[in-house]
Structure 1
Amino acid sequence: MQTQIVQQGRGIRAMKVGLSAILVAVLSACVNYAGIHSDKQMAQPQQFQTTQSLPAESGHWPAADWADQFGDAQLKALIDEALKGSPTIAQARARIAAAQAYTETAKASTMPSVNADYSLKREQFSGTALVPPPYGGSWQTENSGLLSASYDLDLWGKNREALKASISDLQATEADAEVVKLTLTTTIARTYNQLARLYVLRDIAQQEVERRQDIDRITAGRIATGLDTEVERKTAQANLATARSTVSALDGSILTTRYQLAALMGEGPDRGLTIARPTLGVGDEVRLPDNLPADLVSRRPDIVAARWRVDSITHEVKEAKAEFYPDINLSAAIGLDAFGFGRFLTAASRTASAGPAIHLPIFDAGALRAQLKGRYADFDSAVATYNQTLITALSDVATQLAQIHSSDAQLADAQAAQQAARQADDLAITQYKGGLTNQLTVLNADMNALQADQSVANLLMNRRDQQIALASALGGGYVDTSSDATHTAASAATSNPVVAAR
């Protein structure tokens, strides 16, 4: 008896060895992905030299309400209104909803499916075919009801990887929505600052009109005393008309800028007519936060979106690789099938089936390999996009900081020049009244004073515009709030994505 058991054991082992050999032979003859891989890697912020251009200054990251630093309640109200009514925000929300639907679809593929079918048909069967008499050659009513279930075992994780890819796509889409939000709020703030600039330039232009009126009056008096001629009078009148034209041009620019703000808020142009003159302040002190390059990757929504897309395509690569392995699908069905109604609900009409279905790609003319190559090409592109996004982000921060420092340095000299030009203009007019100088000297001094006033105004507005742009470059208060588990998985994949993708 023991000898018989030993012999049976040897037979089973021999059968297993034989089946294994057959399986290995079959798999070796099947399509495979040998030689297809990627050597691309995601850049790390620490690998870029930023210590001089982005110094640690113990500053703070911008908050979500970063625009409040300028102390203008109207700007805050405009931004809030835009976030509620702008079509661009609605588009971003729709894209998130679509990504959520795709994720739910991918999740459904990892679960069993159950279906119920019923059919009723009236059919005349052939008397010379498969159906014998008495049914052959007669009309019959066939009732058929079937309850079926199927489940893909997903031994190689194809469906699971598709689900992970869709989740990462959803995370990327949500980060994209934050990019849209940040872009919109930044554009509104900068356009609002442009409106403030136009108002200040209009004030300067109006002051210039008043000065040119004074020159015209002085010239008229000098003509009466024989010190000037009609040439100087016409010159003064021409300059006065030019100054008034500048005011009109600025009024037109103010109006169009209001219309632009209304469009950004998702409203009609009449909404822009109700926008009052801005009352923007200087804003907070500009200091960069510590550990900026490393922390920026979770503070900039465009970097976060790019990172999630690398993670998504990493899973798509794994999904494409799973296509090379056998698919095993379990299915079962039970139902009733009968001619007529009387026997439909009887035990004799019962039908049932169950069993596995196996699909193994053996020859596909290179379709699966081409598909995998495409996924790797997408992976390389996503990695390159991430790296470029990171480089651009670091450059944005450094550029805005450099421009702010440059504006600060220019402003001191521009204000000194403005004071000197204004004193020279006042002195020239005094001398012109007293007959000690000519009109050309006055006009030159006046033009210098006008340019100095405009230069200071533009520097102040540029500096605030750069400060707004810096807050945007630092993420505008965004922080990646992905779930810890998903975020950890994504970080593990993206910290060495080549290993994950292979």
Structure 2
Amino acid sequence: MSPLQTPPSHSTDTQKSRAMKSLSLSAPALSCRAAVTTAVAALALTGCANYFGIGSDKQMSSPGQYESNQSLPSQGGQWPSLDWANQFGDPQLPQLIAEALEGSPSIAQAQARIAKASSYIESSRSALYPKVNASYSWNREIYSANSIYPPPFGGTWYSENNALASASWDLDLWGKNRQRLGQAVSQERATEADMQQARVTLAASVASAYNQLARLYAQRDIAQREVQNREEIGRITDGRVTAGLDTNVERQTAIGNIATTRANLSDLDGQITVVRYQLGALLGKGPDRGLQIVQPVLASGGAIALPDNLPADLLARRPDIVVARWQVEAALHDVKEAKAEFFPDVNLAATAGFDAFGWGKFFTAGSRQIQFGPAIHLPIFDGGALRSQLKGRYADFDYDVAGYNQTLVNALNDVSTQVASIHSIDRQQADAQRALEASTSAYQLSVVRYKAGLSPQLQVLSADQSRLAAEQTVTDMRMSRRNMQIALIKALGGGFDATKVDLVVPTDARVAQAPQSVQPLPASRATPTAAD
């Protein structure tokens, strides 16, 4: 052995043996720590804010759940079209409706609400994309010569330039931003349907007011004829008084009746003017516009025939039902957005730029500043704020579902009520017409007998009063039936069709349910619910 070599010693072997023992013991120690770390992490995640136990079992009703075959039988009729006013045979009516839809401030308000809702869509959609910003600042300052900066820095003016570009992106792994966008879209669709409801209501209001104007004109014609009848009775009475057949009592009675009838005529003229003003307001114009409307010449709308499959098809024909449906859809998006709040937010952010004193080294490598990396936010304990928020969203969902169901019930009741009313008044009109014919004959006969001195004045006045009441009843029934037809047209949607204005809620919507998981649902789930 060379004298320069050191022979192995027993102590060296002992150290190696201890090292091997140390290594053999460290492996299980590391795996034990990893297991403990994993367990702690699992417990931490288990203790995070969660939404277990929060849900809803409310479901939207379908028309088939309500028995209506007897009240709303299939009759092969047609749904109202947008030009439904033409069926009444007065060209002025559809012109007035078109003018109202064009110039009414209420429609302009509805359009403004749509524009506002559309802006929320744009705002919500922007959250799905990365954000990029840039900034530049220039500062000139002098450092104190008696502070921490020694000369030549202290007491000297310096300029600092700073230019930065930053970018960030919310990865939206759990769809929170997408649900906000879906909620905004649903609200915008509901607002559009609400505008359609405003149009249907306005058109029906114009038609009803126009029909009221026609009724008042018809009643005025009756009152005008009544003035003539009372004047004729007065002349007959004067002749009978001269002949000594009547006294001054009958003469004064006749004079009083003529004055009363003329007062009624003046009252009707005032009512006609008021309705004209109302029409001017409905048109979105001043009261003078109403004075330009000529006397209506409305005809009967004819017999009614309900369309087939009415309850089911009514869902797309009534804008108020469509509004309620989209509101439920918006509530479902709100529920899903609230559930996504329980999951981690992952954001990517990066910043790069230059920062330097003066301009000489501003755009050099040494002046660079760069920062990038992910940011993760996980709600662990918030005092129940997220759970409370989700409970509120579910309450909103329950409220909107109940509102939809009530709207559907009201719609079916509305249609059936108008149909029953029209059938009832059709039966009444035949009897009322016969009563008018009989009372007219009785009045004419009483006048002849009064002229001949065979009956007193009181009998003529009584017969005339009966004839007048019968004629007013027939006229009111005719006008009431037309109002019922207008109401039925409105109840059937007034020509609205959601399929033609892109307002039908997709049957394969991914928000057909508000589940515990925020994973998309299969398209087959078409009935909205929040059972979980």
TM bin, normalised by shorter chain, reads: over 0.9
What are the equivalent positions in structure 2 for 1:53-202 lying under 5 Å apart?
53-125=71-143, 135=153, 138-202=156-220
Partner of 1:400: 418
Q: Secondary structure at the match of 2:166?
A: strand
The CA distance in 1 between the partners of 2:150 and 2:58, in whole Å, is 68
1:327/1:360 contact within 8 Å kept: yes
Contact 2:332-2:511 within 8 A present in 1 as well: no
Name the SS for the 1:60 alignment partner: coil
Partner of 1:3: none
Instruction: Kindly state the Cα deviation for residue 351 of structure 1 after the two structures are TM-superposed.
Output: 1.2
Change beyond 3 A, Cα 1:147–1:19: farther
Aligned counterpart, 1:450: 468
**3-state DSSP class of the match of 2:426?**
helix
TM-score, normalised with respect to structure 2: 0.88
Contact 2:140 2:160 in 1 (8 A): yes
Change in 2 beyond 3 A, CA 1:407/1:492: farther
Report which of the two has the higher share of helix: 1
Change in CA separation of 1:470 and 1:125 when aligned onto 2, cut-off 3 Å? farther
1:436 CA drift (Å): 0.4
User: Structure 1 residues 13 and 208 mapped into 2: Cα distance closer, same or farther (>3 Å)?
Assistant: farther
User: Which residue does 1:35 correspond to in 2?
Assistant: 53
Structure-2 change in CA distance of 1:171 and 1:484 (3 Å): closer
Name the structure 1 match of 2:402: 384
SS at match of 1:38: coil
- 8 Å contact kept, 2:132–2:165: yes
1:375 aligned residue = 393
Q: 2:329, 2:511 within 8 Å by CA — same for their partners in 1?
A: no
TM-superposed CA distance for 1:219, in Å, is 0.3
Pairwise CA distance, 1:16: 9.0
* Structure 2 residues not aligned, in runs of 5+: 1-27, 514-525
Alignment: residue pair count:
492
1:219-238 residue pairs with structure 2 within 5 A?
219-238=237-256
SS in 2 for 1:151: strand
Matched-pair contact (CA < 8 Å) for 1:202–1:251: yes
Opposite residue 88 of structure 1, the aligned amino acid is: S
What is the letter of the counterpart of residue 383 of structure 1?
V
1:53 deviates by 1.0
| Structure 2 equivalent of residue 470 of structure 1 | 488
2:324 to 306, 321, 340: 306
| Whole-angstrom CA distance in 1 between matches of 2:427 and 2:33 | 86
Q: Structure 2 CA distance, aligned partners of 1:128 and 1:32?
A: 58
SS of aligned partner of 1:493: coil
Separation in structure 2 between the aligned mates of residue 485 and residue 349 of structure 1, nearest angstrom: 58
Q: Deviations over 1:69-110 (max 9, x none)?
A: 112111111111111111001001001111111001111101
In the alignment, is residue 496 of structure 1 matched against residue 515 of structure 2? no
Could you tell me which of 185, 209, 222 is aligned with 2:227? 209
After superposition, the Cα gap between the structure-2 partners of 1:36 and 1:423, relative to the gap in structure 1 and judged at 3 Å, is same
- Give the Å deviation of 1:141: 2.3
SS at 1:318's partner residue? helix
Q: What is the identity, as a one-letter code, of the residue corresponding to 1:207?
A: R
The alignment partner of 2:44 has SS state of helix
| 2-structure distance, mates of 1:217, 1:24 | 107
CA–CA separation in structure 2 for the residues paired with 1:188 and 1:143: 68
Tell me which residue corresponds to 1:355: 373
SS of 1:341's equivalent in the other structure is coil
Distance 1:19 1:304 in 2: 53
Q: Distance in 2 between matches of 1:438 and 1:237?
A: 16
For residues 300 and 60 of structure 1, the distance between their equivalents in structure 2, rounded to whole angstroms, comes to 15
Is 1:340–2:358 an aligned residue pair?
yes
Q: Distance in 2 between matches of 1:131 and 1:361?
A: 45
Amino acid at match of 2:135: D
SS in 2 for 1:498: coil
Once the two structures are superposed, what CA deviation does each residue of 1:352-376 show, in whole Å capped at 9, x if it has no partner? 1110011111221211111111101
Supply the AA of the counterpart residue of 2:527. N
Residue-by-residue CA offset, 1:386-443 (whole Å, 9 max, x unaligned): 0110000000000100110111010000000000000000000110000000011111
Residue in structure 1 matched with residue 7 of structure 2 by the alignment: none
- Change in Cα spacing, 1:125 to 1:459, as seen in structure 2 (3 Å) is farther
Amino acid at match of 1:362: I
Whole-angstrom distance in 1 between the partners of 2:202 and 2:196? 10
In structure 1, C-alpha distance between the alignment counterparts of 2:145 and 2:51, rounded to whole Å: 54
Task: Please identify the structure whose Cα radius of gyration is greater.
Answer: 2
Q: Structure 1: which amino acid aligns with 2:507?
A: T
Q: What is the aligned counterpart of 1:252 among 249, 256, 270?
A: 270
CA RMSD of aligned residues (A): 2.3
Give the Cα separation in 2 of the matches to 1:263 and 1:11.
87
Write the deviation string for residues 288-321 of structure 1: whole angstroms up to 9, x where unpaired. 1111111101110000010011011101100001
**Letter paired with 2:263:** S
1:82 is paired with a residue whose SS is helix
* 2:73 counterpart SS class: coil
Kindly provide the amino acid, as one letter, of the partner of residue 496 in structure 1: T
The answer for the alignment partner of 1:427 in structure 2 is 445
Distance 2:351 2:148 in 1: 24
CA 1:335–1:414: 2 relative to 1, 3 Å:
same
Q: Distance in 1 between matches of 2:492 and 2:148?
A: 77
- Matched residue, 1:4: none
Q: Is the 8 A contact 1:308 1:490 kept in 2?
A: no
How far apart, CA to CA, are the structure 1 residues paired with 2:29 and 2:507? 49
